[in-house]
Amino acid sequence: MGRRIVILAMFLAVLTVVGFAPAAYAAGDTMGGKAMSGAQETGPNGQHPEYQYVELSPVILPIITAQGLTQQVSLKVQLEVFWGNKDKVSTYEPRLIDAYLQDLYGALSAGSGLLKNSFVNIVAVKQRLTVDTDKVLGKDKDKVHDVLLEVLQQRPL
């Protein structure tokens, strides 16, 4: 009986995917993400949204303590930029990633309050990323509105 339920569930899952894929493709939706055309970037009144998002490459940091390599932390950061500044800010991506690596590498390993009971303090990390972003791009608030910490993942080694 249990085997039949599993087979039925798998059959229904395949049927759902096969039935959804052509409709999604025809509607311009690819794998859950909307295909962006010029018409979709503007709102119903023909106005553009207030912000755009610059997705940066993942940052992977080792945490080295007196016991040696203990953890690996992965960060995925997005910058919320004002409309029209996406291309300007995305050219700074290598410098931003370098600044994040330099600052967080030492801070996470040195016990500067970013770790609480072996867990990363997300608020403190976000504050440091914001300061690093301001150092690289300048305190020009017309470019970057906010630093978004999309993913923070810890893996013990």
Closest among 76, 86, 73 to 56, alpha carbons compared: 76
Q: How far is CA 154 from CA 45, 120, 132, in A?
A: 43, 8, 21
The CATH number assigned to the domain holding 107 equals 3.30.479.30
Residue 79 and residue 12 in one domain = no
- Residue pLDDT, tens place only, 89-103: 999 999 999 999 999
Q: Alpha-carbon distance 48 to 83, whole Å?
A: 8
Residue 125 is assigned to a structural domain of this protein: yes
- Residue pLDDT, tens place only, 38-70: 444 565 666 878 899 999 999 999 988 788 888
Question: Strand 119-120 vs strand 59-65: parallel, antiparallel, or unpaired?
Answer: unpaired
Q: Is 46 left (phi over 0), alpha (psi -120 to 50) or beta?
A: left
